[in-house]
Amino acid sequence: MVELIVDGHRMTVPPGQQLLAACLAEGIYIPHLCHLEEAPRPAAACRLCFVEIAGVPAPQPACTIRVASALKVRTDTPAVRRLQRMALRLLLSAHHIDCRRCHANRACALQSIARFLKVGLHPKPLMAIARPDEVDRHHPFIDHYPRRCVLCGRCVRTCRNGNDHPQFSFTGRGIDTVVRHYASNLALDKRCSECRRCVAACPVGALQWRREGAGASESVD
Amino acid sequence: MLMEMGLDREEIAALATIRSELKEIPAQRRYLIPLLQRVQQALSYLPQAAIQLVAQHLHLSPSEVYGVATFYNQFRFTPPGRHPVRVCMGTACHVKGGDIILEHFERKLEIKEGETTPDREFSIERVACVGCCALAPVALMGDALHGHMMTGKVEGLILRVQIEKEKARREMGDRDER
Amino acid sequence: MSASETSPLEAWTALQAEAQQRERQRATGHPIQITVGLASCGIAAGGMETQAAFAEAIATQGLPAELRTVGCCGHCYAEPVVIIDHPQSGFPALFYHEVNPGKVHMLVRNFLLGGDPCLEHVMGAMEANDLLPAVNDFARFGLEKRIVMERCGRIDPASIAAYLADGGYGALASALALSPAEIVARITAAGLRGRGGAGYPTGEKWRLAASQSATERHLICNADEGDPGAYMDRTLIESNPHQLIEGMLIAAYAVGASRAKIYIRAEYPLAVSTLEVALAQARQHGLLGDAILGSHFGIEIEIFQGSGAFVCGEETALIRSMEGFRGTPRHRPPYPSVSGLFDAPTVINNVKTLSIVPPIIAKGADWFRGIGTAESPGTAIFSVVGDVTHPGLVEIPMGVTLRHLIFDVCGGIPDQKHFKAAQIGGPSGGCLNETFLDTPIDFDTLAEAGAMMGSGGLVVMNAESCMVDVARFFLEFTQKESCGKCAFCRIGTHHLLTCLEALTKGKAEAGALELLQTLSEDICNGSLCGLGKTAPNPVLTSLRHFAEDYRAHLEQQRCPGLTCRPLIAHYIDLEKCARGCDACVGVCPVAAVFTTSTRKKGIDIDLCIQCGECIAACPPQYDAVRVVSPPALAPRVERPQTDPPKNAEEG
Ligand SMILES: Cc1cc2nc3c(=O)[nH]c(=O)nc-3n(C[C@H](O)[C@H](O)[C@H](O)COP(=O)(O)O)c2cc1C
Ligand code: SF4
Ligand code: SF4
Ligand code: SF4
Ligand code: SF4
Ligand code: FES
Ligand code: FES
Ligand code: FES
């Protein structure tokens, strides 16, 4: 076992344990969006889970650290908070805030992270970025809201892990990246109607099981 | 076949050739990009039918194939013009006013970068350094490279294509009359 | 072929003897040798037509001449270049510049048939002599130190015999007589640092990969070269592919790789086909495949064509793309040397890094250490573009100053203009001002200045350049090429670009510079991969070294470099404009030039797109067109009612 000291709190973990998971298990909250427990390699995409490790000059994402030897970690230094707040502000600047009409309202990771970091949902000096259409209905029974999506990739990776043929994929590149379902295929659609894990994996309100879609899934059966 | 909707006869034939070639290529994911390159070489773009075909062969979902294809600059999803115009927007060409050349093509052809003229004659794209910075600014019309571009040359290049086309049409007409 | 009793060295000596024999025969049959430079840039400048014109003349006139092609000689400003070696004429081999088909006919008539070398078209002689200056005495030729590009422009890239006869593959033969560990030790002793940008010690990388216990190891040559202003990797491949192949074979042997690949941009068709030809030739000569040079070592080299994404130059993204995925980078560690392609240990090296390996093996670590600086031995290759007299590819020792490179080697800045800035290292590099002119350039000094060696792009800019616009240009590139995976780079670069665009339009709000600064710092610290971590460098360095440019844009809506088109205006100085002169009228793409009531010319401010063509067209003795910023400084000249704006189509 390896000893960790996080914010002065002592704990022991098995070697090779992921730092973020270890902290979360101990009840030490570190903001995160793209972390996926079962993933073999971290995505390290949301850039929220920064921590400072004694002896390492710059903050590091906790999801990328495998604990090999004793570490002294701080989760709330000014450098960490500065990066986290900027990352969140950036995500929010590309996010269409309309919580009242969003099905994720009050269960949304963005809301809780904003509260935790004391950042308003409308980030100041950054101007809002217009993103594509309100809702994408390419998938036979899952609606996707690109303007709510934070591109954490949890849906894509969850689907790939549970199913060799992910039904959602990132498309495009850079600021134009969107999660999309491209074309349907009856056998795979049927699997979706039983699985729904991507919808559960979404930390925000960007994927929704379409109510009228439930009917569609039965017609496929 | 439903899959081939929206393709013209030549495109369907090209797709059939590719389908027969597929047997040679192992169904391994690492062949995805080479395969897409092969398809685009034959069809000059990636229609939905081709994406489905590639997905089927490699046992991937079409979403996954489309996701990979849209990541790379090389792949296009609408047919290009017969005379694709590519304007260099590399560093040297930028410093020498490449944007003015691009704008002038856009103005003269009345389309924006990334678009094709309605008659499918021209399309405009921006490219990064084509490796002839000493000739900046540079533009390509088809495969022919033109250095030291000026707005006047833009008009000349377009005019030349239009004259060629007009000539070809007259010759066709002559032949038809005979 | 199976491993035989002959040693690799003996096998190579036999190959070389045969190649030399072939080369001699070729030369003796043809008393006149004509050499045309046909790398991409030569072709672009019309080299194919030049070559065709010579071919036709040789055929129709039955000239005893042989027409050869070589790659890039580095003097891209002089293309198409031709070297004529006509010993019977009594002249040494001569270097001609800008040879179009017209000049070809003249040279055939006067020189090849008539014996008059047309000296007014000669740039110089290829060797020292009593008649003419030799090109090597010119600064642009003589001050270079070529070790990677040494054979470029000298040998035919399509001929393995030319390379073998020149000593090529000799380093491979001697390497195969050493143990892999000895080669790694030699590269480490030479202090070779990777030329792909970051300058990571190559020996260390190889040692790490070789020390992994694995059944399979990969070697990948990174020829993705996505920097929008650099083209040396492509040129090296087009001009001397065998040196790269030789370097790859030595590297593969040293790290124990069982598979080797070249990741090259599909947009480089000539480089791809040159490589294909070279690989086939190497295979035929027993230099590729099983039992190379009769040894126990064997390997194949495959080509993988990249589909055009700058980020795929980043090594983890490159690997993803070879595996058939979107080319998004992954967190490191694990480093590719430990777990790379298909999770096997993988060494990734740049084209230049691998091409330096054969000379190091052939001439030794001490020789290499003798060039350049202690921490950055060897040479650097820059593609010098922008406001310099002699742009092109330049190979110089590390540690040379910018002043020497720009003013001595590249002939300085044309039109008596002043130096303002140098942008080094492309999208991840930085903008340096004149205080850096005397800093020696190597990996570490550039990093201290906030720039980077990067790919070796060097843009020289005169006083009429705008650093805000340069930063905007690079950010436009990086934000377009961001893979979109991580929040800082995907969204952050977009905001940087928006802010820079506002500045170049004179529409930025107070606080814009502070936002640029903080956001840039956070993107550097927060991004996942090298693209995001370095993308703000052009902004940070220009903010630091050219703050006055930014302030002028922000506070006065003024572009001091007269570059940002929304902030400038062209007008015609009526004092200077010559009555009746029409030179600027026809060139204006939007017919903005009109005739004033005094039969001089004026510019319609509402139509003018600030393209500057009228400046170029105005005869130098009048020099009447002026540019000012902010636009309000331009005197307003009314268009007379009698001269309504013409349709641009008729102009
Ligand atoms: C965004 C980005 C683009 C890169 N592009 C290239 C490239 O085009 N060519 C290259 O050799 N290295 C490129 N690199 C560096 C590679 O990741 C890698 O460090 C290099 O190929 C290693 O080779 P070396 O050790 O020989 O320098 C790039 C890195 C980043 C972050
Ligand atoms: S995803 Fe979250 S932050 Fe966005 S609108 Fe829905 S509830 Fe609000
Ligand atoms: S849809 Fe949800 S889970 Fe998928 S990438 Fe977007 S935010 Fe993440
Ligand atoms: S820094 Fe940019 S290019 Fe690199 S992983 Fe993040 S988004 Fe992709
Ligand atoms: S700058 Fe260009 S658009 Fe303006 S008047 Fe001169 S030629 Fe015409
Ligand atoms: S959870 Fe670590 S970067 Fe997203
Ligand atoms: S920048 Fe246009 S050719 Fe290099
Ligand atoms: S490519 Fe011809 S001299 Fe550079």
Per residue in A30-79, pLDDT (tens digit) is 999 999 988 889 999 999 999 999 999 999 999 999 999 999 999 999 99
Q: Is B133 in the pocket of ligand 7 (CB under 6 A)?
A: yes
Computed over every residue of chain A, the mean pLDDT equals 89
What are the structure tokens assigned to B150, written together?
Answer: 């000026």
CB C486 within 8 A of CB C455: no
How far is the centre of ligand 6, averaged over its atoms, from the C-alpha of A30 (Å)? 10
Asked whether residue C561 is assigned to any structural domain, the reply reads no
Looking at residue B149, what is its pLDDT?
A: 92
Residues C190 and C235 in one domain: yes
Looking at residue C651, what is its pLDDT?
A: 36
What residues of C are in contact with residue B94 (Cβ under 8 Å)? 228, 473
Q: Is the ipTM here above 0.90?
A: yes
The CATH architecture annotation of domain B83-177 reads 3-Layer(aba) Sandwich (3.40)
Q: Is A151 in the pocket of ligand 3 (CB under 6 A)?
A: yes
Residues C439 and C493 in one domain: no
Per residue in A97-125, pLDDT (tens digit) is 999 999 999 999 999 999 999 999 887 76
Residues C337 and C454 in one domain: no
Quick one: angle between helices C512-526 and C547-556, nearest 10? 130
Residues C598 and C526 in one domain: no
End of a domain among C535, C556, C577? C556
Q: Does C480 touch chain A (CB under 8 A)?
A: yes
CB C324 within 8 A of CB C307: no
What are the structure tokens assigned to A178, written together?
Answer: 């969107």
Q: Interior CA angle at B105 toward C466 and C472, to 5°?
A: 25
Asked whether residue C87 is assigned to any structural domain, the reply reads yes
pLDDT reading at C184 higher than 70: yes
Q: Averaged over C121-149, what is the pLDDT?
A: 85
**Alpha-carbon distance values, C537 to C277, C483, C600 (Å):** 40, 18, 47
The mean-pLDDT minimum among A132-146, C10-24, C432-446 falls in A132-146
Eight-class DSSP state of C460: E
H or E segment at C22?
helix C8-28
Residue A97 region, left (φ>0) first, then alpha (ψ -120 to 50), else beta?
beta
How far is the centre of ligand 5, averaged over its atoms, from the C-alpha of B162 (Å)? 26
pLDDT confidence tier of residue C43, bands split at 50, 70 and 90:
confident
Looking at residue C99, what is its pLDDT?
A: 94
CA C184 to chain centre: 29
Residues C328 and C182 in one domain: yes
What residues of B are in contact with residue A183 (Cβ under 8 Å)? 48, 51-52, 62-63, 66
Give dist(CA C278, CA C163) in Å, integer.
11
Looking at residue B144, what is its pLDDT?
A: 84
* B130 contacts C589? CB cut-off 8 A: no
Give dist(CA C450, CA C524) in Å, integer.
12
How far is the centre of ligand 4, averaged over its atoms, from the C-alpha of A174 (Å)? 8
Nearest protein Cα to ligand 8, atom 3:
C76
CB C398 within 8 A of CB C442: yes
Residues C169 and C310 in one domain: yes
SS3 call for C42: helix
* B134 contacts C79? CB cut-off 8 A: yes
CB pairs under 8 A between A and B: 47
Looking at residue A3, what is its pLDDT?
A: 94
Dihedral pair phi/psi, residue A163, rounded to 5°: -165, 125
Asked whether residue C144 is assigned to any structural domain, the reply reads no
Give dist(CA C333, CA C325) in Å, integer.
19
CATH number for domain B3-71, candidates 1.10.10, 2.40.30, 1.10.1510, 1.10.150: 1.10.10
Asked whether residue C539 is assigned to any structural domain, the reply reads yes
How far is the centre of ligand 4, averaged over its atoms, from the C-alpha of B63 (Å)? 22
Q: Averaged over C539-544, what is the pLDDT?
A: 97
Give dist(CA C242, CA C157) in Å, integer.
8
Looking at residue C242, what is its pLDDT?
A: 98
Ligand nearest the Cα atom of residue B87: 7
Residues C386 and C480 in one domain: no
Q: Averaged over C279-297, what is the pLDDT?
A: 96
CB C405 within 8 A of CB C143: no
pLDDT confidence tier of residue B157, bands split at 50, 70 and 90:
very high
- The reply to whether B83-177 shares the fold of B3-71 is no
Q: Where are the alpha helices (DSSP H) in C459-546?
A: 467-481, 487, 493-504, 512-526, 530-534, 537-545
Give dist(CA A25, CA A136) in Å, integer.
36
pLDDT reading at C323 higher than 50: yes
pLDDT reading at C646 higher than 80: no
CB C469 within 8 A of CB C564: yes
Q: Is A110 in the pocket of ligand 3 (CB under 6 A)?
A: no
Per residue in B60-100, pLDDT (tens digit) is 999 999 999 999 999 999 989 999 999 999 998 998 899 99
> Hey, which residues does C462 pair with through a beta bridge?
C419
Per residue in B6-65, pLDDT (tens digit) is 788 888 999 999 999 998 999 999 999 999 999 999 999 999 999 999 999 999 999 999
What is the percentage of chain C residues whose pLDDT exceeds 70? Answer: 98
Give dist(CA C163, CA A200) in Å, integer.
62
Between A219 and C108, where is the model more confident? Answer: C108
SS3 call for C321: helix
Looking at residue B178, what is its pLDDT?
A: 52
Q: Averaged over C589-604, what is the pLDDT?
A: 92
Residue C106 region, left (φ>0) first, then alpha (ψ -120 to 50), else beta?
alpha
pLDDT reading at A207 higher than 80: yes
The mean-pLDDT minimum among B109-113, C2-6, C392-396 falls in C2-6
Residue C391 region, left (φ>0) first, then alpha (ψ -120 to 50), else beta?
beta
CATH number at residue C617: 3.30.70.20
H or E segment at C385?
strand C379-386
Residues C316 and C181 in one domain: yes
Domain spans of chain B, in order of start: 3-71, 83-177
Asked whether residue C15 is assigned to any structural domain, the reply reads no
Q: Is B7 in the pocket of ligand 7 (CB under 6 A)?
A: no
Between A186 and C489, where is the model more confident? Answer: C489
Write down all domains in chain A, each with its CATH number in brackets: 2-76 (3.10.20.740), 131-221 (3.30.70.20)
pLDDT reading at A190 higher than 80: no
The total number of structural domains in chain C stands at 5
What are the structure tokens assigned to C260, written together?
Answer: 């080797």
pLDDT confidence tier of residue C3, bands split at 50, 70 and 90:
very low
Greatest Cα pair distance in chain A: 60
Give dist(CA C98, CA C121) in Å, integer.
9
CB B129 within 8 A of CB B91: yes
Looking at residue C219, what is its pLDDT?
A: 98
Looking at residue C650, what is its pLDDT?
A: 42
Dihedral pair phi/psi, residue C602, rounded to 5°: -135, 165
Looking at residue B177, what is its pLDDT?
A: 57
SS3 call for C265: strand
pLDDT reading at C516 higher than 70: yes
Looking at residue C529, what is its pLDDT?
A: 97
Domain that holds residue C305: 160-369
Burial track C221-258 (b if 16+ CB lie within 10 A, e otherwise): bbbbbbbbbbbbbbbbbbbbbbbbbbbbbbbbbbbbbe
> Hey, which residues does C498 pair with through a beta bridge?
none
Ligand nearest the Cα atom of residue C352: 1
Asked whether residue C150 is assigned to any structural domain, the reply reads no
CATH number at residue C304: 3.40.50.11540
Nearest protein Cα to ligand 4, atom 8:
C483
Looking at residue C78, what is its pLDDT?
A: 87
CB C571 within 8 A of CB C637: yes
Q: Which of C45, C50, C254, C76 is nearest to C153 (CA)?
A: C76
Q: Averaged over C590-615, what is the pLDDT?
A: 93
Looking at residue C643, what is its pLDDT?
A: 58
What is the percentage of chain C residues whose pLDDT exceeds 90? Answer: 80
End of a domain among C556, C585, C608? C556
What residues of A are in contact with residue C484 (Cβ under 8 Å)? 151, 170, 172-177
Asked whether residue C640 is assigned to any structural domain, the reply reads yes
Q: Averaged over C423-448, what is the pLDDT?
A: 93
Give dist(CA B133, CA B110) in Å, integer.
27
Eight-class DSSP state of C169: T
End of a domain among C462, C493, C524? C462
Residues in chain C: 651
Q: Is C225 in the pocket of ligand 1 (CB under 6 A)?
A: yes
Q: Are strands A207-209 and A142-144 parallel, antiparallel or unpaired?
A: antiparallel
Between C126 and C171, where is the model more confident? Answer: C171
Residues C431 and C482 in one domain: no
CB C84 within 8 A of CB C93: yes
* B107 contacts C391? CB cut-off 8 A: no
pLDDT reading at A213 higher than 50: no
Which residues contact residue A51 at a Cβ distance below 8 angstroms, ignoring those fewer than 6 apart? A6, A19, A23, A30, A59, A60, A61, A62, A65, A73, A74, A75, A80
CB C456 within 8 A of CB A58: no
CA B122 to chain centre: 10
User: For A17-58, what is the HEC assignment?
Assistant: CEHHHHHHHCCCCCCCCCCCCCCCCCCCCCCCCEEEECCCCC
What are the structure tokens assigned to B125, written together?
Answer: 């794209």
> Hey, which residues does C397 pair with through a beta bridge?
C379
One-character DSSP codes across B34-86: HHHHHHHHHHSS--HHHHHHHHHHHT--HHHHHHHHTTSTT--SSPPPSEEEE
Give dist(CA C373, CA C379) in Å, integer.
9
Q: Are strands B144-146 and C457-462 parallel, antiparallel or unpaired?
A: unpaired
* C45 contacts B129? CB cut-off 8 A: no
Q: Averaged over C358-367, what is the pLDDT?
A: 97
SS3 call for C145: coil
Residues C439 and C505 in one domain: no
What residues of A are in contact with residue B66 (Cβ under 8 Å)? 169, 171, 180, 182-183
CB C584 within 8 A of CB C593: yes
* B150 contacts C613? CB cut-off 8 A: yes
Q: Are strands A169-171 and C259-265 parallel, antiparallel or unpaired?
A: unpaired
Looking at residue C644, what is its pLDDT?
A: 59
pLDDT reading at C287 higher than 90: yes
Q: Does C572 touch chain A (CB under 8 A)?
A: no
SS3 call for C417: coil
What are the structure tokens assigned to A150, written together?
Answer: 């934070």
CA B114 to chain centre: 10
Residues in chain B: 178
Give dist(CA B29, CA C325) in Å, integer.
8
Residue A47 region, left (φ>0) first, then alpha (ψ -120 to 50), else beta?
left
pLDDT reading at C51 higher than 90: yes
Tell the burial category of C414 from Cβ atoms under 10 Å away from its Cβ (0-12, 13-18, 19+). exposed
Q: Averaged over C134-159, what is the pLDDT?
A: 87
pLDDT confidence tier of residue C370, bands split at 50, 70 and 90:
very high
Read off the pTM.
0.93
Residues C200 and C304 in one domain: yes
CATH number at residue C534: 1.20.1440.230
Residues C510 and C526 in one domain: yes
Q: In one letter, which amino acid is B107? A: R
The mean-pLDDT minimum among A51-55, B139-143, C4-8, C246-250 falls in C4-8
